Amino acid sequence: MNNSPYSRPPDRHRLDIPPQVLAISPLDDLADIARVTRTSRLLHYMTLPQLYRQVTLTAYPETRYINGRPEGFGSGSPFAMALSGLMTSNAAAYVKEFRVRGSWKESGVEEYSQGKVPDSTMLLNVVVRGAIDKMVNMESFTWDLDTKPLKSIYQGLSIRTSLTSLSIDFPPSRIPRPTVLIPPIPSLKALRVSNLDPMCAQDDISLLLVGSKNLEELKMHWNPRMRDGAEPSINLHTYFGRCIAAHHQLKIKHIGLQNFYGANRGEFAKIFDTTVMAHTEFIDVFGGVGGKSSNAFVDLTWKEVPKDVRFMWKSHRSNEPAPQHASILESFTGLEYFYMVSAKPPPRDDKTTPNGDAISPGTTSPLTPYGSPWRDQEHDTSHLGKDYLDALMPRHGSTLKHLLLSDQWAITGDNISQLVRSCPNLEQLGLAVEFASMEILRVLLPFLPKLKAMRLLANPALSRALTEDRFFEDPEQSMAKMGVHVSQSGFKSLRWIGVGDLIFRVGDEYQAELEDGTKEWRRQIIQATRDDVNDVAIWSKDVLMI
C-alpha cells in the first residue's frame, strides 16, 4: 500500500462538498453567475436557472463598438444571437421573466402603407414566437420595442399557462399597421399597456380584458398628445365595451390610469368593482384645478361623483388636486398611503421618431413613453390644502403610514400640530411648510416615533429659510435648528431627510459641543443622492408615471 502523502486517497475517503453549503442565492451580478456556471458541472446545473431567470434583450438603433470592433463581429448582433440561442437551446425553459426592448431597425416601413408587413418585422416576430414556445415556465413578458407585436406573439402568449404578467408598449408613430384582437390569457394577473392611441392602429385589448378572469392589476397609459391636442377620440367603452355587454365587472385590486382623455358616460362603476379596488393611481386623467382650459369641456364631465359608488382604497396617488377629489377621500376610511405628486413634466422640444415621423410637443419619444401633458400653471391650488387635510386627518389619520402632500400647500404650525395628533403611525411624511413653521418641527417631530423618512418640499418659504440660515454652510447644525436632533426622549427611527432637492441620510448619534460649552445629542447628517432613496416611497412615488 502506498502511504506517500502525495498519493491520492481512496474514493471512500474523499470528502465531497455538501450542496447545502453552496450558497448561490446571494449572487445577483450576471457576470459573476456566468463565471460560476463554468466552475464545475455541479455549479453549472445549480446556477443555470438563476442565470436565465430574468432575460432582457436590447436592440440598439446604431452599431456599438467594443475595442474598435462592432458588437457581434464575426456573427450577428447580440440581440439577434441571443434570440437565436433562446429558440434553439434548452435554456429557455429556465426563463421566468422575458423582456425585449429598444429600437428595432424596421427596414421597409413604407410597405405598411401598401398593405404589407416588412420582412424584417415579420422575421422578428417569428423568432420571438419561437423563443416564447420554448419558455414553458415564463411568468412575465414585456414588449418595449418601437414596433408592434403581431398576431403570432399573442397566440404564443395565450397558451402559456404560467404567464401572470404582461406589459406592452405600443409604438407612438401614427403609421398604418395591422391590428390584432388580443386573445384572453386565463392565467394573467397583471396587465400594463402603454402609449395607447387609436390613431396608431394599435391592437384591441377588449377581448383580453373580458376573458382574463384572474386579472387583479391593470395599468393603462395613453399617449399624452391626446390631452395636449384635446383629441376626445376614446372613451371607456372603447376598451371595456365587451365587459359591459357581458355584465362582467372587473375585480381589479390595483388600477393605474395616465393621460386618459374621454368623456364620462357613467360606465366606470359598471366596469370596475370599486369595493375591491385597494390601490389606485390617477395621473393626468380628470383635469383637476390645474387642468388645461382646452380640456375643460371633457374633464368637467368627471366632476360629479356618484353617491352610490363605494371606495375602499388602501393607497392612492394622483397629481390633480380638485374639490371633488377631496370629497372622495372624505367618503371612506382606512387609507394607509396617500401621495399627491408634485413633480412637473420636463421641457419637451420637437423630435422625430426612428421612422421619420415628426413628434409634436405633446408627443413622447419611444425612449421616454411616460411623459405627462402640460398643465396650465396659472391656476392656484394652494387653497385646496385645507380641504385635503380636513378630509385626511379625521377619516384616515389613525391608519395613515405614508403621507405626501403637494408642494403648493404651505402647511401652518396649527396644521402640523393637528397632523401629528391625528396621524401617530406615520412612517414617511412629505410636506411644504410656511417659513414661520420651520422651528415648530423641533417640538412636534419627536411625537412621531415611527417616522423613518421626512421630506420638506421646495417652495419659496423653504428657499428663503435655506438662504437666511446659511444652510449649505453647515447642514447638520441647520437640521438641528429645525428639529432634526436627538435627545433622551427623541425619536430613533428617522433615516432619511429631504430639504428641497437635497437628500440626507441620518447616521449614528454623537455628542455635539455647543457655543456655551454645553453638549447636545445629535445625529450625523450625511448627504445622499436621489438613487439612494429609490425605495423610499415619498421620493419614488413623486413621479409622473404609473
In the predicted structure, residue 374 carries a pLDDT above the cut 60: no
Tens digits of residue pLDDT in 284-313:
998 888 788 888 889 888 888 877 788 999
What element of type H or E holds 392? helix 385-396
In the predicted model, what is the mean pLDDT of residues 398-413? 93
> In Å, how far from its chain's centre is CA 248?
28
Tell me what pLDDT residue 491 has.
64
Contacts of 198 (CB under 8 A, 6+ apart): 233, 234, 238
Contacts of 92 (CB under 8 A, 6+ apart): 52, 86, 131, 134, 135
Contact 225, 362 (CB under 8 A): yes
Tell me what pLDDT residue 110 has.
83
Contacts of 48 (CB under 8 A, 6+ apart): 37, 91, 94
Paired with 393 in beta bridges are none
Closest to 440 measured CA to CA, from 460, 424, 458, 418: 418
Tens digits of residue pLDDT in 323-336:
999 999 999 999 99
Q: Which amino acid makes up residue 474? A: D
Tens digits of residue pLDDT in 457-488:
988 888 877 776 666 666 766 666 666 665 54
Alpha helices in 145-235 (DSSP H): 151-158, 206-211, 225-228
In the predicted model, what is the mean pLDDT of residues 20-47? 69
Query: Per-residue confidence at 444, pLDDT binned at 50, 70, 90?
Result: confident
The pTM of the full predicted model, rounded to 2 decimals, is 0.85
Contacts of 320 (CB under 8 A, 6+ apart): 282, 283, 284, 285, 286, 287, 288, 289, 290, 291
Contacts of 5 (CB under 8 A, 6+ apart): none
In angstroms, the Cα distances linking 98 to 133, 152, 174, 193, 289 are 12, 17, 27, 16, 41
Where in the chain are the domains? 52-163, 401-540
Paired with 484 in beta bridges are none
In the predicted structure, residue 436 carries a pLDDT above the cut 70: no
In the predicted model, what is the mean pLDDT of residues 109-122? 86
Residue 429: CB atoms within 10 A of its CB come to 24
In the predicted model, what is the mean pLDDT of residues 220-240? 89
